[in-house]
Amino acid sequence: MNSIAIEVPKPVDAPSQSTAPDIDAWLLRVHEASKRRNYAGTFVVSANGEIASSRIWQVCDGQTQLQRIEKLTGESQITYRRNNEVVTFYPNRKVVQIESSDALGAYPDLLKTIPKTISEYYQFTRVGAQRIAGVDTNIAEIKAKDPYRFSYRVWTAKDSGLVVKMQTLDAQARVLEESVFSELDLNAPIQMDQLLKQMQQTDGFKKEYVTLVKTTPEAQGWMIKEGAPLGFAATACYQRSNQGANKTKFWQKLFKTHGSTMQWQFSDGLANVSLFIGHYDVKDGLTDSRHSAGATQILRKRLDRFWLTLVGDVPQVTLELFAQKLQRKSD
């Protein structure tokens, strides 16, 4: 796997390891900042020698969090996220995709919840400070204690805790992926009603609805033998309609399954894993495979008459373990 050569700033003070309450408080502050802070900025993601950038606007009023994310590279795409609703416009194709789910979060965000066991799997260390995009930040390292997850280096704004930059590191401390605001305005005059108006302007676009219906693995006939591995816990399970979603390049490449797909989500508080399970058809010509895109790893394999796609910001060995523990319940 390719890594990105990035110069790491030297700490201004000696590193200090912290206890579990310290990492809990730090993560909570970071999470709250991602939900409550208004800002506008250019967000750049580097991985595998490739760079993708987006322009992000976010406004919050205490109850509603609204984002506008416009891709500056690749296919033209504008995404609006309002709490649990996501509306994505593809201007060149005149298509708008509408999705609603309580599993959808803000972007970028570091975590969903803070498990009590998180300090068993990560070591939290404060390592210094640096100024990035005109913002004074503190640097923290979150080092994995086992080979089943990646480590992180995170730069957060001193005054708010907002993540300004993040690197995902492998076991040799090589940077797999870097996300950073190259430009950030924490006092941008953003109006909620203005973004909402843009989000609702769907005239002239073909509407495609991605349907997510809450379910349980048991109801769909699946289980994880001996429970989820390595500190991961199930966070959500959905039956996802492939109609509409299959028309995007992402779904075309990942899921050539028929009918609907079950999506089973897991998290250890930082790393996330999704299991997508659909019906296998020999006509599709699918073969077992592994892929990587920066920190994101993908494992695809057949299980009897089903096709599995595992996606996560974890090492391949973790996806393999999930696949090994997944089994069909007796009919």
Contact in structure between 307 and 278 (CB atoms under 8 Å): yes
Burial grade of 56 (CB within 10 A; 0-12, 13-18, 19 or more): buried
Q: Is residue 294 part of a domain?
A: yes
Q: What is the CATH number of the domain that holds 216?
A: 3.30.200.100
Distance CA 57, CA 69 (A): 7
Question: Tokens in use for 23?
Answer: 């990492």
Q: How far is CA 316 from CA 86, 307, 321, in A?
A: 29, 18, 9
Q: Where is the domain boundary, 170, 199, 228?
A: 199
Q: What is the pLDDT of residue 78?
A: 98
Q: Is residue 6 part of a domain?
A: no
Q: What is the pLDDT of residue 326?
A: 95
Q: How far is CA 129 from CA 39, 140, 162, 203, 312, in A?
A: 21, 9, 14, 48, 29
Instruction: Spell 63-76 as b/e; 16+ CB within 10 A means b.
Output: eebbbbbbeeeeee
Q: Is residue 63 part of a domain?
A: yes
Contact in structure between 34 and 110 (CB atoms under 8 Å): yes
Q: What are phi and psi of 142, to 5 degrees?
A: -120, 100
Do 215 and 303 sit in the same domain of this protein? yes
Report how many domains make up the chain: 2
Q: What is the pLDDT of residue 84?
A: 84
Do 73 and 134 sit in the same domain of this protein? yes
Which single residue is written with the structure tokens 């987006």? Answer: 54
Do 173 and 25 sit in the same domain of this protein? yes
Q: What is the pLDDT of residue 285?
A: 74
Do 126 and 82 sit in the same domain of this protein? yes
Q: Is residue 10 part of a domain?
A: no
Do 245 and 126 sit in the same domain of this protein? no
Q: Is residue 174 part of a domain?
A: yes
Both ends of the chain: CA-CA distance in Å? 41
Q: What is the pLDDT of residue 83?
A: 87
Q: Is residue 31 part of a domain?
A: yes
Collapsing DSSP to helix, strand or coil, 195 comes out as helix
Q: Where is the domain boundary, 178, 199, 220?
A: 199
Q: What is the pLDDT of residue 45?
A: 97
Cα dihedral sign for 198, 203, 208, 209? positive
Q: What is the CATH number of the domain that holds 144?
A: 2.50.20.10
Do 194 and 223 sit in the same domain of this protein? no
Q: Where is the domain boundary, 199, 221, 247?
A: 199
- The closest alpha carbon to 31, from 177, 163, 166, belongs to 163
Q: Is residue 69 part of a domain?
A: yes
Question: Tokens in use for 267?
Answer: 């998290």
Q: What is the pLDDT of residues 96-141, one digit of tens each?
A: 999 876 554 555 655 555 667 788 999 999 999 999 999 999 999 9
Do 119 and 79 sit in the same domain of this protein? yes
Do 110 and 190 sit in the same domain of this protein? yes
Q: Is residue 103 part of a domain?
A: yes
Q: Which domain holds residue 24?
A: 16-199
Do 82 and 221 sit in the same domain of this protein? no
Instruction: Spell 14-39 as b/e; 16+ CB within 10 A means b.
Output: eeeebeeebbbebbeebbebbeebbb
- Those residues of the chain that have pLDDT short of 70 are 1-21, 101-115, 242-259, 331
Do 170 and 225 sit in the same domain of this protein? no
Do 101 and 23 sit in the same domain of this protein? yes
Q: What is the pLDDT of residues 45-100, one digit of tens each?
A: 999 999 999 999 999 987 889 999 999 999 999 999 998 899 999 999 999 999 87
Do 178 and 119 sit in the same domain of this protein? yes
Q: What is the pLDDT of residue 245?
A: 47
Q: What is the pLDDT of residue 254?
A: 54
